[in-house]
Structure 1
């Protein structure tokens, strides 16, 4: 391995560092005139502002100049509070401009204009602001590999449709950006225009798709100087009222609290929630989980999704740990039963500070405290109840230091710390990361070293390291990767990891087109090989070859095909649920195909088919997924998706019987229906409907005992009923009104039920009837959030 590291470093030393292509420069013009955001361009300042023009196609025909019939011109003004953006987008067929009304941050079937701003001009992170032709706002924090649309800034925009195209006017306050304290500002900037009906995107500064990096290919904004930015202090008080009812009782709840955002300076921001309320966040998709690992859940709470790009560094932070399930199962005596076991732990408060210095040092600190939580246990003889701690008062802390340099490289340090009050488990984990790119973004070297320490009944520590080398530009690209994880590497107190104690190698090569052909707009084919070997036994955990083809046709239909072969016998060290045990996993072949029709048409559909055939008699997995969406008009649309999975002769753990580990051969089916509807009254007022029904069962027909060599031996004497039948229903019907910038009134009706038994019912209608005939919970809630800018208060009082 040392020779490998040395070779990689020598490659980087002798790589030719070519210079960037010429970047366009735009001058921002200072103004003291009151700029009204109405799209009418009546102010005198706009008439003499410099113009950004000569847009170039980004995709599909990269590098092609925009036609005169779609001429696009952009101007920028600024004062002490904000920058102002004006875009005039010509279109020789204005009646064909796409303009679907959607929720905020949903692009939909619309033409778009966006501005990307990098206040440090360091090629690392963009603040992106987009507006559709229907006037809907989208904004995100963007790094090279991802866009975070959970981030919502407060800014103004207005769109006017004209007989020559459309006009966009924006006001982006400095509070929505991050930049240095320099008297003369130099920002990275780019503008993008999307013409939806032609599947075309154009940018002001040319972005060469043969180069893997986009942010480093922005133009330059100059002219902003001697600005005196106002105090960045924002108060967001809220109040919520809930009424909940089920078959047994009802409950009324009122909550009030406040979020605070404070700009420590132009670069750093403090976010705090004083009294959390996540009652209207999207429901989790409950499933029948028979896997040895917990279900990985999406984060839907705004505080943990907004502006969290720093905290995602290195994959050390899984925010659902905070306020997740309790960590302790209460101990009960023979005559006791648990009558109340909370499924989650309440959050007391949380605060985060994040930003970046003028020299590129990003700093992020997040701290959260969850309350002490009890289960209630009742004595069935005396009827006396007692309480037992299932989650102590806990403090969670994340620290991130991320130093950027050379426009496109970084070195990072991450630390996570979990401290539980009393004699409970504590944990600490750290990571050192490096991400190095050549100046022309041709090659990338990425690696990490991570370590963990757990203070429990028995202390233990572990580590993980990895290195990756890739060619990241051109039609042909490749990647080589190696990693090692020790036995006791454990970040699961504040992060999430499933598999440890192995080492592996991975290699990938790919080919793509960068301009359309006579058949495809886009095309990419890749193949990869992966081998993972368990450290203690030397047995293979994973060994696969995979071929993937992805393409978009000239009519904007999307195609994807995958072929995978697992040619070696493998061993699963987690399915037995017993440390040191493992079970044989046979060879298999996987096939997958997807077709996704042109989404710009009123009727859109998609279908996915996959199958896996194992090297065991009649052991197979079949899956079909289908979806349709119909857009009745720019305001109203409905969609329906279904998923069906069937597993024949699946084998998995079901029980411990004294010293034996019991497996079952079983048939499983999963059926899921997902229905959504949207009606937008305006670009700030929308009704939304989401309904999901999920049914799954596991029907065991033969039992086995796991042997020490990983193979299964029939166990005809085992007769426990370990079948499972699981039904889940969720419905959310909501009304949302953004009545002022950053201020929202939302009304939600929620209806849900869950059934989980060991009596398999294979009739779908009976399952549906049993679920709705059981204990159904109904919740009605109203929530009001109001955004207050400290400067507006100061101006009034």
Structure 2
């Protein structure tokens, strides 16, 4: 018996050791001291405080290979006073006179810009933090980090930055108010890392070394920011963010009358502690939020569109990252869907080093046949081991004025409770999750739960994943996102394995295969779906990529389905469909002014039909002021009668004009013949003060066949960020 247990013990020990291991880069220390003089944010290193500050240099290359020092010299200095954390970075150009940027657009595309980024683990927990940075012409980047390093760029706050550029170098200088970040009072060490991307030599580097297969944002590999004394308390931290919005709209399909409205509302942010924040909102308005990029839907299930509304974004991972991408008990876009939000509150942040708490309560108005609903969410997270955590969530949706005769298509309540364990090893090579969820709905009992688990291993040359899911036939998450629940309950497995060969070549850095299998069974354990994909990837030194793939598919329909999603005949339940397909993907390197990404798919489809698909994204930049992009999707579906031939076009040209790094004009046109619509959205944003904006948003919707206007709207919105 002991002989049989010994191998199991050794296996468990081998898995636990990397989870409990010490921080990989704890010997990389930067000592920060109080500024010895006043600092002016002007991109000029002429203050005495910068002359006496410690310098972090000798960056390590991450990509294309992580085995040497960086060829691009970078010098970093930091300091602080009672109000702000300061950083000044001198980015020397390895090729004098070069500059590769997309535009002055805020929260720019990381891979298309020369940039410098700061990552701060302000609780030293290797899980949550903040990121700030800029590209080489001064476009700002700020985001909140979660789950070990993922960066949510939708998060915004007040801070100050300037970039100065010449042929030999570009200098980034910034002041980050302590009021704008969250941190534990009294702590003397934060995690910190500095990341540099220089596209002229296609090199990504970092001060504290990071393995090439991981993002430079990985908080597992931060060094240590050592304070000479505890960071100062931010003091009273209350921000009031009112808005005034006026709206003009006309529906040409109805009475053609002009509608007018004036809305007043806003948000309040209250720092309960330096690590806990209370957000309040009254009559929120989201008219300035970027329009969703439309998608051609040839799937049997609902498409996903990310949350962009500011109120829901701080510490959003506490709420949004519970579960999996297709099993979410809470999805904030369900709130205010087609009805106005009256008011809401969110309490979120750290209770101490190990505990995080999130509380949300939102009230919506009644409209037409929809009742007024209250949404309440509790999220609790406990960190364990080095970087892992347990999470608990409870979600309650309750109609506050429910009438069974009026609200026949809506439920009186829906509730979800769940728990999960998230594994993240100290060296970021192992990750995984195990999760259980249960729902409560009126008159429903039994088989109302969901379970899923996965385990991932990721080294530079070898990576694999195992994932399985079970969703009960009565599991219901009305405030969540579970598109596959339409299968009326299912079992699923999703294994993946891949390998990369690294070679010495002037153009190619690595290449290798990847195999992915996705299989579904119904509640009777009968096969309903199977897809097997074999991909071969090539990664180029200029950061371009190429791949070819082949796939086999099997589908047994569990409900009637129109394979065009265009209102045509539906295939019958129980019919079986098999096909093969192949395709390619090519993405150019970002160095040239003209960039492209092209993909294609060729092969079979439902009912012995065929489907040909092309996706293209073409870009051209007149740096740094104008970036033009043209995205298009073409589908050619050929099937027997009564479907015959169906062609879908989705075309979306976009022009971003950045007059300065605080004045932006975006024009986005989307033609979608599946939705029978042409949408034009033009947005002018003037950031006249940090986090304070004036928006002018113009929107048209047209009929594609004759460009007759269906609806038209003009919005003027003024916001002001006022620190009390």
Query: 1:96 is paired with a residue of what secondary structure?
Result: coil
Please show how residues 108-147 of structure 1 align to structure 2 within 5 Å.
109-143=112-146, 144=148, 146-147=150-151
Cα distance change of structure 1 residues 168 and 288 upon mapping to structure 2, 3 Å threshold? closer
The CA deviation at 1:515 is: 7.7
Q: 1:433 & 1:779 partners in 2: Cα distance?
A: 44
Q: 1:736 & 1:638 partners in 2: Cα distance?
A: 18
| Deviation by residue 1:630-653 (Cα, 9 ceiling, x = unmatched) | 2234212322222211222279xx
The CA deviation at 1:613 is: 1.0
Alignment partner of 1:418 out of 386, 397, 405: 397
Are 2:621 and 1:634 aligned? no
Any conservation in 2 of the 1:97–1:197 contact (CA below 8 Å)?
Answer: yes
Q: 2:85 & 2:378 partners in 1: Cα distance?
A: 32
Q: 2:720 & 2:692 partners in 1: Cα distance?
A: 4
Please show how residues 219-368 of structure 1 align to structure 2 within 5 Å.
219-226=223-230, 227-247=232-252, 248-284=256-292, 293-312=301-320, 313-314=322-323, 315-324=328-337, 344-368=338-362
Query: 1:309 is paired with a residue of what secondary structure?
Result: helix
Partner of 1:572: 557
Moved more, 554-563 or 9-18: 9-18
Partner of 1:701: none
Partner of 1:787: 721
Any conservation in 2 of the 1:122–1:406 contact (CA below 8 Å)?
Answer: no
Cα distance change of structure 1 residues 692 and 613 upon mapping to structure 2, 3 Å threshold? same
Q: 1:117 & 1:632 partners in 2: Cα distance?
A: 33
Query: 1:45 is paired with a residue of what secondary structure?
Result: helix
Alignment partner of 1:50 out of 45, 49, 54: 54
Q: 1:154 & 1:683 partners in 2: Cα distance?
A: 15
Are 2:546 and 1:542 aligned? no
Q: 1:392 & 1:210 partners in 2: Cα distance?
A: 49
Cα distance change of structure 1 residues 349 and 451 upon mapping to structure 2, 3 Å threshold? same
Cα distance change of structure 1 residues 478 and 630 upon mapping to structure 2, 3 Å threshold? closer
The CA deviation at 1:198 is: 1.6
Are 2:636 and 1:649 aligned? no
The CA deviation at 1:559 is: 1.1
**Which has the higher Rg, Structure 1 or Structure 2?**
1
The CA deviation at 1:561 is: 2.3
Alignment partner of 1:491 out of 467, 473, 477: 477
Q: 2:655 & 2:313 partners in 1: Cα distance?
A: 24
The CA deviation at 1:443 is: 3.4
Partner of 1:75: 77
The CA deviation at 1:43 is: 2.0
Cα distance change of structure 1 residues 645 and 591 upon mapping to structure 2, 3 Å threshold? same
Any conservation in 2 of the 1:612–1:621 contact (CA below 8 Å)?
Answer: yes
Any conservation in 1 of the 2:36–2:48 contact (CA below 8 Å)?
Answer: no
Any conservation in 2 of the 1:30–1:78 contact (CA below 8 Å)?
Answer: yes
Partner of 2:407: none
Any conservation in 2 of the 1:491–1:497 contact (CA below 8 Å)?
Answer: no
Q: 1:29 & 1:418 partners in 2: Cα distance?
A: 49
Cα distance change of structure 1 residues 295 and 58 upon mapping to structure 2, 3 Å threshold? closer
The CA deviation at 1:599 is: 2.6
Any conservation in 2 of the 1:289–1:295 contact (CA below 8 Å)?
Answer: yes
Q: TM (normalized to structure 1)?
A: 0.81
The CA deviation at 1:185 is: 1.9
Q: How many residues align?
A: 684
Which sections of structure 2, spanning at least 5 residues, go unmatched? 1-5, 404-410, 563-571
Query: 1:782 is paired with a residue of what secondary structure?
Result: strand
Moved more, 547-556 or 358-367: 547-556
Any conservation in 1 of the 2:64–2:541 contact (CA below 8 Å)?
Answer: no
Cα distance change of structure 1 residues 607 and 289 upon mapping to structure 2, 3 Å threshold? closer
Moved more, 479-488 or 44-53: 479-488
| Deviation by residue 1:362-401 (Cα, 9 ceiling, x = unmatched) | 1111211111112xxxxxxxxxxxxxxx111100112111
Moved more, 624-633 or 365-374: 624-633
Alignment partner of 1:433 out of 417, 420, 427: 420
Query: 1:625 is paired with a residue of what secondary structure?
Result: strand
Superposed CA RMSD: 2.7
Any conservation in 2 of the 1:733–1:749 contact (CA below 8 Å)?
Answer: yes
Cα distance change of structure 1 residues 511 and 648 upon mapping to structure 2, 3 Å threshold? same
Are 2:500 and 1:512 aligned? yes
Q: 2:243 & 2:454 partners in 1: Cα distance?
A: 46
The CA deviation at 1:626 is: 2.3
Partner of 1:330: none
Q: 1:281 & 1:681 partners in 2: Cα distance?
A: 20
| Deviation by residue 1:565-619 (Cα, 9 ceiling, x = unmatched) | 12x5x32213369xxx9322311112121112223211222321112314854x1
The CA deviation at 1:776 is: 2.9
Any conservation in 2 of the 1:292–1:574 contact (CA below 8 Å)?
Answer: no
Query: 1:583 is paired with a residue of what secondary structure?
Result: coil
Any conservation in 1 of the 2:344–2:362 contact (CA below 8 Å)?
Answer: yes
The CA deviation at 1:320 is: 1.9
Partner of 2:693: 744
The CA deviation at 1:554 is: 2.9
Are 2:603 and 1:612 aligned? yes
Alignment partner of 2:383 out of 380, 385, 404: 404
Partner of 2:31: 27
Any conservation in 1 of the 2:202–2:541 contact (CA below 8 Å)?
Answer: no
Q: TM (normalized to structure 2)?
A: 0.88
Are 2:546 and 1:559 aligned? yes
Please show how residues 587-606 of structure 1 align to structure 2 within 5 Å.
587-606=578-597
Which structure would you say has the larger RCO, counting Cα contacts within 8 Å and 6 or more residues apart? 2
| Deviation by residue 1:32-85 (Cα, 9 ceiling, x = unmatched) | 632211111222122111111111111112132123xx3221111112222111
Cα distance change of structure 1 residues 555 and 283 upon mapping to structure 2, 3 Å threshold? closer
Cα distance change of structure 1 residues 441 and 644 upon mapping to structure 2, 3 Å threshold? closer
Alignment partner of 1:777 out of 707, 711, 718: 711
Partner of 1:377: none
